[in-house]
Amino acid sequence: MQPGGTFKIMELTSLLAVFLFLPKASGDNVLIWPVEGSHWINLRPIIDRLIERGHNVTVPVPMGTLFINYTKPSPIKFIVFEASFTSHDIESIIQNFVDFWMYKYSHSSHWEIYQHIAAMKTNVTNWNRHVCDGILKNSKLMHNLEQSNFKVLLSDPVSYCGDLVALKLGIPFIYTLRFSLASAMERLCGQLPAPPSYVPAVMSELSEKMNFTERTKNVLYLLMYDLMSIWFWNAWDLYYSEVLGEPTTFCETMGKADIWLIRTYWDFDYPRPFLPNFVFVGGIHCRPAKSLPQEMEEFVQSSGEHGIVVFTLGSMIKNLTAERADVIAAALGQIPQKVLWRYAGEKPKTLAPNTKLYDWLPQNDLLGHPKTRAFITHGGTNGIYEAIYHAVPLIGIPIFADQPDNMSHMKEKGMAVVLNFNTMTTLDLVDALNTVINDPRYKENAIRLSSIQHDQPMTPLDTAVFWIEFVMRHKGAKHLRPASHSLTWYQYHSLDVIAFLCFCLAVALYIPIKCCMYCFRRCRSKLKRKGKKD
Amino acid sequence: MQPGGTFKIMELTSLLAVFLFLPKASGDNVLIWPVEGSHWINLRPIIDRLIERGHNVTVPVPMGTLFINYTKPSPIKFIVFEASFTSHDIESIIQNFVDFWMYKYSHSSHWEIYQHIAAMKTNVTNWNRHVCDGILKNSKLMHNLEQSNFKVLLSDPVSYCGDLVALKLGIPFIYTLRFSLASAMERLCGQLPAPPSYVPAVMSELSEKMNFTERTKNVLYLLMYDLMSIWFWNAWDLYYSEVLGEPTTFCETMGKADIWLIRTYWDFDYPRPFLPNFVFVGGIHCRPAKSLPQEMEEFVQSSGEHGIVVFTLGSMIKNLTAERADVIAAALGQIPQKVLWRYAGEKPKTLAPNTKLYDWLPQNDLLGHPKTRAFITHGGTNGIYEAIYHAVPLIGIPIFADQPDNMSHMKEKGMAVVLNFNTMTTLDLVDALNTVINDPRYKENAIRLSSIQHDQPMTPLDTAVFWIEFVMRHKGAKHLRPASHSLTWYQYHSLDVIAFLCFCLAVALYIPIKCCMYCFRRCRSKLKRKGKKD
């Protein structure tokens, strides 16, 4: 199925259905927990749709925010509060992170990687703590929030304390997230089952089909990340207990979420067990393409039958080394397609006339353009979902965080070729481009995944909004929360029952065996005595 | 929220949405596997909606069917085939089953219960085998089906071989079921995870919150039913292998289903883990009430402010002993409500003027009537779902099969009082009726569960039809099928990995300990020698 016209009609009808047929929203007050980076970008479509449906959306924003533009006129009500960090602090944390993973990770020792992670932990914890204190210890702000009659709080748990504020205000809360480290939050706090035999840990780069070695690696990976997460969360247990005024843990508090909106779906992710309060809404931000700016449209049209290639390494990568930029530019010059490259660095020496550099690209509109043949990406989930939505094959140049794992999913699903950023040559990139553009299987798989993404009972955005409004209408969604939350880990795995049954079995076997042995000995000694007498 | 007007508007808009906004159906051919009893009643709403949406529905029917009326004009295309049993045979199997559970079970020994189950197994297997042979060994009929270009087969796995026919025809298949014995089919063949610590086995009458004894009972229950199911299925492995022409098992074949439509939802069932290809569509047959026949409406209206009680023990219970009927009728005479009792037996001596007997009742229309105060039921899932849909509190008099377990769910959810059919007195029934009618908590809980049932992204019927059409559009739903199907049981539970890691740990501990002990011995012997020299 060609995902062009049919899908556009479905979008339109879905949009009409939302306005005409979904239960009418009653203009409730929604509190959104602030978050930075692409996480804020992912919250925006939900916020916009909530506002469209007549709700009042409030976002408390720390003064030093980097990504939330609260100075422009907006239908969102921003409440600016003081927090002891500046946008420069956030920028330097991010830059530090990117630089390490881009240029240092591959030739660092385990000790250096550990040191980097420990430093990151301290930085992120401090940053988070400033946001938490900025709201929770600001009694005027808290009083203001209490008076605002919020019906629900929506939080991305990459930024902590949203759950705490919801509990202090006595309102239900919902998480929206792509993943936590090896899904430790979802598994350990949300009780999401994840058998390691066929559910690969996020960031492990493993697929759903694992041999013995890979399954062992997966178990070790999960163990390692669980220990790391518990170490990370331990630092918060006391803070959470103090705020709530009773002994609790970070993880126990997270477990009180009513709904977990997970930003993947079964086109990108491998099918796995989940719970009724986990809702999969991958591609929440995807939308039909809009027209391009005139100059860009002209450049795209000039590509003729060969079409275009879209290239971006995301908003966090601002620059490359001259050597890497030259290797890439030389490759782009060898294909018959026109290339639009989002690149803010110095113009590479090898840049060919078919390639144009841009400070910023309307990525979604370009991916939805009929002339687009391939997308070179760092492998962020947002870009991947836009490519799935518009059925565009991928060349992945993953750099850090979940990007290598994301790209391994798309490679496994037959929609991508993956390259190593540090070691790829010009020829590697040319080969990869020619493969995904000329081998029809990549386009076929992209169309297949795209049709899965489009053919759902409701669009991911409508699904997310439905469950947020459900929680508001019903003051929670307790009927979806499994009873496992009240079990200890050994009860959950039935280890006490197994131990008891093993003990019973042992006793049941031991007594008859002992009896038999006793009888056997008695008979033997009788026979011996008889033998001696004879 | 009172589920009256609002819900009716939602029904209407949902119906409009289906016609206006769901992807248009293209008139595909759907094959339905025949099944008897309430299972056929559960298939009908799906069949009717598929026909409404322009599909052509074909049902092969064995000549001796009891429940499928193929003689009346119908939009369904029935293909009648010969099978070596009569409707009388089916009737006697059912009557035998009902009589045992109703009157003999409570005072039978374990050996008698086992004998009954073994006899049932033989009867049901023979009956099933006749249906399978009637189609699979009828080459003309199979050729006819092959020529019919079916896009999907829909089967309730209580009747076997639907999967076999789908595989022989090379088309995808979908199951629709309420449950199998302790969910053994769903768990062992469909790979549905069910941690026994908080997922009570179906028919165990346990709730989601279990103490140590109950969790132990649950594990033993699952073990027992798994062994029983495997013994049951073993008889079919050879048949399945012969038909498919390759070594396979009954369970492996079931695992090839594209979608499992489970006829429960989280209002009736406890939240539990599930897989993306398991879709919960409980209440699929529920619909707004229609007007009652005039005579019945007049009787209902004559109840005044007290309202009415609806009473039926289902279509399988035709008669009661005179003693039980008198006990019940005497109780019904002591309440101020009017009672409509579906009862085909002899008129009880104690029948009071407020109670009217009927051969048949328009159950759904009565439950949806504003004057209905309570529903006395045997606890079949269909009746329970109609009561949830219309928010009517229940008095359960469960008799056999899943009925006691179903009623234990409703009792746990605060919407029902449960009585024992064989031991209840007149006073017990009067008390139960007064409790559910006069204690507002029962009605409140009924309204709460009803609002959960009504407040879903799509109605259960639309959801079921969406996924059937999805499978037709995409020739299956492989993207929803977990990779666990290719694992052995010990790989699935990572037992090989755990054994390997334990071995590594033992070696890792053993070598340093041995080294330490060796060094310690060397040092000690040196010291000793030195001591002797000194």
pLDDT tens-digit profile of B488-531?
999 999 999 999 999 999 999 988 888 888 898 888 888 888 77
Does residue A311 lie in a domain region? yes
Residues A393 and A269 in one domain: no
Q: Specify the pLDDT at position A4.
A: 40
Which residues in chain B have Cβ-Cβ distances shorter than 8 Å to A500?
212, 216
A270 lies in the same domain as A310:
no
| AA identity, residue A509 | L
* Residues B352 and B421 reside in one and the same domain: yes
Q: Which residues of B touch A482 (CB under 8 A)?
A: 198, 208, 270-273
Average pLDDT value for residue range A240-264: 97
In a domain, A528, yes or no: no
| Residues B238 and B100 placed together within one structural domain of the fold | yes
**Are A61 and A130 a contacting pair, CB within 8 Å?**
no
Which has the closest alpha carbon to B376: B433, B302, B461? B433
In a domain, B464, yes or no: yes
Distances (CA, A) of B32 to B23, B46, B65, B459: 22, 10, 15, 22
Give the model's confidence band at B384: pLDDT under 50 very low, under 70 low, under 90 confident, else very high: very high
Q: Provide the whole-model pTM.
A: 0.91
Predicted pLDDT of residue B165: 97
- Which pLDDT belongs to residue B512? 86
Could you give the ipTM of this predicted complex? 0.91
| Interatomic CA distance for residues A413 and A208, integer angstroms | 11
B214 and B205 Cβ atoms separated by less than 8 Å: no
Give the closest of B474, B483, B500 to A216, CB-based: B500
pLDDT in tens, A57-101: 999 999 888 888 898 999 999 999 988 888 888 888 888 877 777
Whether residue B219 and residue A20 make contact (CB cut-off 8 A), yes or no, is no
Q: Is the pLDDT of residue B15 over 80?
A: no
B127/A58: higher pLDDT: A58
**Which of B196, B274, B494 has its CB closest to that of A273?**
B274
Task: Assess if residue B101 is contained within a domain.
Answer: yes
Check whether residue A207 and residue A62 sit in a common domain: yes
Using the beta-carbon criterion (under 8 Å), do A197 and B480 form an inter-chain contact? no
Asked if residue B396 is part of any domain, the answer here is yes
pLDDT at A24: 54
Q: What is the pLDDT of residue B200?
A: 96
Number of CB pairs, chain A paired with chain B, less than 8 A apart: 166
Residue A476 has what DSSP assignment? S
In chain A, % of residues over pLDDT 70: 95
Residue A198 is nearest to which of B466, B483, B498, comparing CB atoms?
Answer: B483
Amino acid in the structure at residue A300: V
Chain A residue numbers with beta carbons less than 8 Å from the beta carbon of B16 are 21
A433 and A467: one domain? no
> What pLDDT band is residue B9 in, cutting at 50, 70 and 90?
very low
Q: Is it the case that residue A370 has pLDDT exceeding 90?
A: yes
Q: Which of A45, A88, A236, A69 is nearest to A159 (CA)?
A: A236
* Closest alpha carbon within chain A to B193: A273
Same domain, A352 and A220: no
Whether B197 and A272 lie within 8 Å, measured CB to CB:
no
Over residues B395-414, mean pLDDT: 94
> Nearest C-alpha of chain B: how many angstroms from A281?
13
Phi first, then psi, for residue B47 (nearest 5°) are -60, -45
- How high is the pLDDT of residue B296? 97
pLDDT tens-digit map of B455-469? 999 999 999 999 999
Task: Look at residue A165 and tell me if it is in a domain.
Answer: yes
Query: Domain span at residue B370?
Result: 294-454
What was the pLDDT predicted at A124? Answer: 82
Among A401-405, B38-42, B95-99, the range scoring the smallest mean pLDDT is B95-99
Q: Looking at beta carbons, which pairs linking B388-391 to residues 24 or more positions away fall under 8 Å?
A: B388/B267, B388/B268, B388/B283, B388/B286, B388/B415, B388/B446, B388/B449, B388/B450, B388/B453, B389/B283, B389/B286, B389/B450, B389/B453, B389/B454, B390/B3, B390/B289, B390/B364, B390/B450, B391/B3, B391/B443, B391/B446, B391/B447, B391/B449, B391/B450
What burial class does residue A140 get, using C-beta atoms within 10 Å of its C-beta: 0-12 exposed, 13-18 middle, 19+ buried? exposed
> Could you say which of B220, B479, B492 has the minimum Cβ distance to residue A197?
B492
Note whether residue B370 is domain-resident.
yes
Distance, in Å, from the CA atom of B111 to the CA atom of B117, rounded to the nearest integer, reads 10
Percent of chain B with pLDDT over 90: 73
Q: Which residue of A has its CA nearest to B8?
A: A23
Query: What does residue B352 show for φ and ψ, rounded to 5 degrees?
Result: -95, 165
Helix (H, G, I), strand (E, B) or coil at A375: strand
Cross-chain Cβ contact B492/A457 below 8 Å: no
Q: Are residues A275 and A235 in the same domain?
A: yes
Q: CA neighbours within 13 Å on the CB side: how many for A144? A: 16
pLDDT at B4 over 70: no
Closest in A209, A267, A276 to B483, CB measured: A209
- Quick: pLDDT tens for A161-195: 999 999 999 999 999 999 998 899 999 999 999 99
Average pLDDT over residues B87-99: 81
Band (pLDDT 50/70/90 cuts) for residue B87 is: confident
Cα–Cα dist B305/B340, whole Å = 16
Test the A interface: residue of B198, B209, B463 with most A CBs within 10 Å: B198
Cβ pair A198:B501 closer than 8 A: no
Instruction: State the pLDDT at residue B25.
Output: 56
Q: What local confidence, expressed as pLDDT, does residue B65 receive?
A: 86
Cβ–Cβ < 8 Å for A258, A481:
yes
Q: Give the three-state DSSP class for A345.
A: coil
The pLDDT value given to residue B24: 54
pLDDT band at A339 (very low <50, low <70, confident <90, very high): very high
Looking at chain A, which residue has its C-alpha nearest residue B276? A271
Measured between CA atoms, the residue of chain A closest to residue B478 is A271
Residues A331 and A235 in one domain: no
Of A16, A219, A473, the CB nearest to B501: A219
Q: What is the pLDDT of residue A51?
A: 97
Nearest by CB: B497 against A215, A451, A498: A215
- Interface touch B272/A276, C-beta < 8 Å: yes
- pLDDT tens for each residue of A272-302: 999 999 999 999 999 999 999 999 999 999 9
What pLDDT sits at residue B23?
A: 53
Min CA distance, A272 vs chain B (Å)? 6
Provide the residue type at A56 as one letter: N
Indicate whether B416 pLDDT > 60: yes
Q: B212 to chain A: which residues are within 8 Å by CB? A: 496-497, 500
Yes or no: say if A392 and A374 are a contact pair by the CB < 8 Å rule: yes
Mean pLDDT across B276-285 = 96
Give the CATH number for residue A106.
3.40.50.2000
Note the residue count of chain A: 534
Calculate how close chain B gets to A133, using CA atoms only, in Å: 36
pLDDT at A118: 79
What is the CB-side half-sphere exposure of residue B90 using CA atoms within 13 A?
Answer: 20
Average pLDDT value for chain B: 91
How many domains are contained in chain A?
A: 2
Same domain for A421 and A352, yes or no, is yes
Report residue B26's pLDDT band, with 50, 70 and 90 as the boundaries. low
Domain boundary among A390, A422, A454: A454
pLDDT for position A533:
67
Mean predicted confidence (pLDDT) in B320-349:
95
pLDDT digits (tens, 9 = 90+) for B190-247: 999 999 999 999 989 999 999 999 999 999 999 998 998 998 899 899 999 999 999 9
Nearest to B334 by CA among B437, B422, B255: B437
Is residue B317 scored above 80 in pLDDT?
no
Contact B482 A272 (CB under 8 A): yes
What's residue A23's pLDDT? 53
pLDDT computed for residue A315 by the predictor: 75
User: Please, are residues A399 and A378 in contact by the beta-carbon 8 Å criterion?
Assistant: yes
A171 and A218 inside one domain: yes
| One domain for residues B180 and B304 | no
Interatomic CA distance for residues A223 and A230, integer angstroms: 11
- A2-51, pLDDT tens digit by residue? 444 444 444 444 444 444 445 555 689 999 999 988 889 899 999 999 99
Q: Is residue A325 part of a domain?
A: yes
Q: Among residues A230, A226, A176, which one has the least CA distance to residue A201? A: A226
Question: Within 13 A of B483's CA, how many CA atoms are on the CB side?
Answer: 19
